[in-house]
Each structure stands twice: as C-alpha cells, then as structure tokens.
A = this chain, B = another copy of it.
Amino acid sequence: MGQTEVKQLVDDLANGRLTTSDLTAALTASGSADLGDTTLDLDRRRRCGFPEVVYAEGKSSETLLRIVGSLLESNQSVLATRVSLEKSEALLGAYPNGRYHPTARTFRIDIGPRDVRGRVTVVTAGTSDLPIAEEVRETLDWMGVETTMVHDVGVAGPHRLVYQLDKLRRADAIVVVAGMEGALPSIVGGHVDCPVIAVPTSVGYGASLGGIAALLGMLNSCAANVVVVNIDGGFKGGYVAGTIARRRHHHEVPS
C-alpha cells in the first residue's frame, strides 16, 4: 500500500468516513485467499491489471480446482499455463465452459466479453517453435489483444521475413519465438520501431544446451529494441507484449 493510500485512509477516519475497526481492517486486509497449501493473490488484478495467472506444473488437480474455484468466486477470469492433458480433463470436467489448448497447454475461463485493444505480431523462426508461439497467442487472446501470426521465417531464408514486413510494422509490440541460434529477434528489431520481446525456445540439440544458446544470443542482440524472457517463456512474452499494446491504446494522462 502506497503513501497516498494510507494517508487517504487516515483522512477518511478523521472525516468520519471510516470507523477505527474499518481502518484496522483496511490496513491489515490480506488481499488473498488462504487455500491451505496456496495463498491466492486476489488483489493482483487491482495492482497489476490482470488476475493472478496459475503455473500448473507441480500442482495437483485438486489444488488447481481449488484455485480456479476461488478466482471465479471473486469474479476473476482464469488462465493456467503448462497444464498437462490429464489435468485438463479434471478441469474441463468441473468447468465445461473452460477452453483447453493442447498445443499451448493452456486452460482458460473468460469472464464476460472483453474489449479488444492493441495489436501484437507473433513471429516464429521455425515450425518447431509452434507450441510456445501458441502459448503466446492464447495469453494475448485472454488479455483481449489482437494477434497476427507470422510463421517460420528464420534467418537462413532471409527473404521470407522481408516479405512480411508490413505485418511487423503495424504492431504495437512484436513477440519473436526462436530456438537454435536465436538470431531472428535482432533482424526483426532492425526493421521496426516498436519493442521486440524475444522468447528463446529449447528447440535444437547439442550446443543449443536446451535453449541457453538462443537465450544468450538474444541477450547480446545488437538491436536496441530487443528484450528477453526465460527459455520457453511463452506466457511472459505474450503478457508483456499485451501490457504494452493495451496500455498504448488506453490510458489516462498521468497528472
């Protein structure tokens, strides 16, 4: 809680808009739900703009069901990532209106219609990067951002990218998904004036070191507008691009 909010609360007390027990409650509110082995952050949407997203790996189906239930109760939409086929069955059993994407391994429940704002182009270096690109796309779709896909334009056939420049230039942000040497974000970055979010993938073998080669390549990109997320980090790549794109099309001018 920031300085301004605390001052406002004490003012409210001084002005009789709050009782002392209201004040105590406000100052010590947990903003979260205690689900036993999980403390769900119900205040996330207020602070960060979107509800807490669920990382399903290492969580049991029972835990996932408890979390989804708690989010829906507080009227928040649901996005879970890295959901195995088996866990998706438990979730779809309980929530048949949910949407499971088997390539992206995401599970979603949208709450009411969302306004669509902002445009993101998602680029893959090769066909094998598809699962991560789909995770990016599902995330953006859940956030209410329009996406354009440009597939398989890796650097060994450089004309393929040039042919698609128009799709790159009208984006608010671009997500580039690439394994092996991870060179594509630099090339894309050199053609555009928007931020490029580079998502290294574990596609490759031998000295690709499970994606480390692509990650290092992207971190050392000589293009000034390239930032990087974790290997196979499709969710985060999409999330940050979506944040940039949505905020560009809707903001109060700060005072």
Contact = CB atoms under 8 A, between A and B. Distances in A.
A47 B191 contact: yes
Interface string A206-219: 11111111111111
Interface string A188-202: 011111110100101
B7 A24 contact: yes
A213 B206 contact: no
B248 A251 contact: yes
B57 A205 contact: yes
Interface in A148-187: 151-160, 162-163, 165-166, 169-170, 172, 180-183, 186-187
Interface residues of A, number: 122
Contact of A213 (B23, B216, B232): B216
Contacts of A216: 181, 207-209, 212-213, 216-217
B206 A156 contact: no
A124 to B, nearest CB: 8
A223 interface: yes
B6 A28 contact: yes
A153 B205 contact: no
Contacts of A55: 126, 128
A210 B210 CA distance: 12
Given A128-B59, A181-B186, A192-B47, A233 B206 contact: yes
Nearest to A190: B156
Given A10-B20, A14-B20, A127 B224 contact: no
Contacts of A180: 220-222
Contact of A2 (B13, B37, B166): B166
Given A152-B37, A187-B158, A248-B248, A222 B125 contact: yes
Interface of A: 1-4, 6-7, 10-11, 13-14, 20, 23-24, 27-28, 30-32, 36-41, 43-44, 47-50, 52-53, 55, 57-59, 63, 82, 119, 124-128, 130, 151-160, 162-163, 165-166, 169-170, 172, 180-183, 186-187, 189-195, 197, 200, 202-233, 235-236, 239-240, 243-244, 247-249, 251, 253-255
Which 6 pairs of residues, A with B, have the shortest CB-CB distance? A206-B231, A58-B128, A183-B183, A2-B165, A41-B157, A49-B193
